């Protein structure tokens, strides 16, 4: 029998550390991929600031760097089956780090919540040697933290999205998590996978997933900026884009950029859909696709 030297990590410890690192890198990469995608209507990209006057690509890049330790920490906590309060405390620290990096601009609060929870879930599944299928990830999420997500959390500082949730009676980010992210698993991922299966490049496949989200999600950032009328406009335009051939038509990028200009003119920024797109890209990555 070979005994590891005193103080040296075991192979299982190394495997555990490697899994959490891969999960954290996938989370950061998914946020970068969401930022780099263009033209995604209304949102900041490497090309322009979209409908925002308070942030640009440089702001989001600073935010990304500030979150690198958070994704590693939340994956490690998730792997051990940590309580939801532990995950939440890590998220609160990540928000503080983000706001310091961006000089007070809320760039990734929704992503900290959604991607943080999915990082913890993927790490927990890996720790249990479960293959990270859609069904497994959703089951693990609800089994580990579902009850906590249903419980009200009154100590949270209300965000613009939370204000819109209360005003318009939609479920918002927390409602998505309570149902194990149907927008990710039932809307974005099927669109992404179908486009890739049909031979689209990653840019077009990601745009297809994004427009699918725009057509179906009650985006609270859109509601905050444009009210119910703004949300109806976003969903109608997205449905028209998909009905006109989605990303399979020859003029996909022209139509997507025209929609981007319309959103910018109306100051509509579907940040909730951006977070969900990043979450879908993360799941796609951890599944090895």
Contact between residue 269 and residue 43 where contact means Cβ atoms under 8 Å apart = yes
Average pLDDT of every residue of the chain: 90
Counting Cβ atoms within 10 Å, is residue 161 exposed (0-12), middle (13-18) or buried (19+)? buried
Which is more confidently placed, 192 or 14?
Answer: 192
Say whether pLDDT at 8 is over 50: no
What DSSP character marks residue 186? I
What is the model's pLDDT at position 166?
52
Give the span between the Cα atoms of 144 and 80, in whole angstroms.
11
Contact between residue 137 and residue 118 where contact means Cβ atoms under 8 Å apart = yes
**pLDDT tens-digit profile of 199-238?**
999 999 999 999 999 999 999 999 998 999 999 999 999 9
State the alpha helices, DSSP H only, in 10-133: 11-36, 57-66, 68-79, 84-101, 109-127
**pLDDT tens-digit profile of 245-278?**
999 999 999 999 999 999 999 999 999 999 999 9
DSSP line for 118-158? HHHHHHHHHHTT----HHHHHHHHHHHHHHHHHS--TTSPP
- Per-position b or e across 212-223, b if 16+ CB within 10 A of its CB: bbbbbbbbbbbb
**pLDDT tens-digit profile of 103-139?**
999 999 999 999 999 999 999 999 999 999 999 999 9
Give the span between the Cα atoms of 289 and 286, in whole angstroms.
8
Query: Rounded to an integer, what is the distance from CA 85 to the centroid of its chain?
Result: 20
């Amino acid at each position: 029998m070979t005994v590891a030297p005193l103080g040296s990590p075991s192979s299982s410890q190394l495997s555990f550390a490697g899994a959490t690192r891969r999960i954290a890198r996938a989370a950061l990469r998914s946020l970068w991929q969401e930022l780099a995608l263009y033209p995604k209507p209304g949102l900041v990209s490497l090309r322009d600031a979209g409908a925002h006057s308070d942030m640009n690509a440089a702001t989001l890049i600073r935010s990304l760097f500030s979150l690198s330790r958070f994704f590693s920490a939340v994956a490690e906590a998730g792997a051990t089956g940590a309580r939801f309060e532990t995950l939440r405390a890590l998220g609160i620290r990540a928000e503080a780090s983000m706001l310091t990096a961006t000089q007070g601009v809320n760039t990734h609060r929704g992503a900290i919540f959604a991607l943080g929870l999915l990082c913890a879930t993927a790490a927990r599944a890996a720790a249990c040697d479960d293959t990270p299928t859609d069904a497994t990830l959703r089951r693990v999420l609800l089994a580990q933290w579902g009850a906590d997500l249903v419980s009200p959390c009154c100590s949270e500082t209300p965000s613009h999205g939370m204000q819109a949730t209360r005003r318009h009676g939609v479920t918002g980010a927390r409602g998505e998590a309570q149902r194990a992210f149907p927008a990710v698993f039932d809307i974005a991922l099927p669109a992404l996978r179908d486009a890739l299966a049909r031979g689209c490049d990653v840019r077009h496949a990601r745009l297809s997933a994004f427009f699918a989200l725009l057509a179906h999600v009650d985006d609270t950032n859109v509601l905050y900026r444009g009210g119910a009328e703004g949300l109806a406009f976003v969903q109608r335009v997205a449905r028209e884009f998909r009905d006109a051939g989605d990303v399979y038509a020859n003029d996909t990028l022209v139509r997507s950029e025209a929609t981007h200009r319309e959103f910018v003119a109306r100051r509509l920024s579907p940040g909730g859909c951006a977070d969900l797109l990043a979450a879908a890209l993360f799941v796609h990555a951890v599944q090895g696709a």
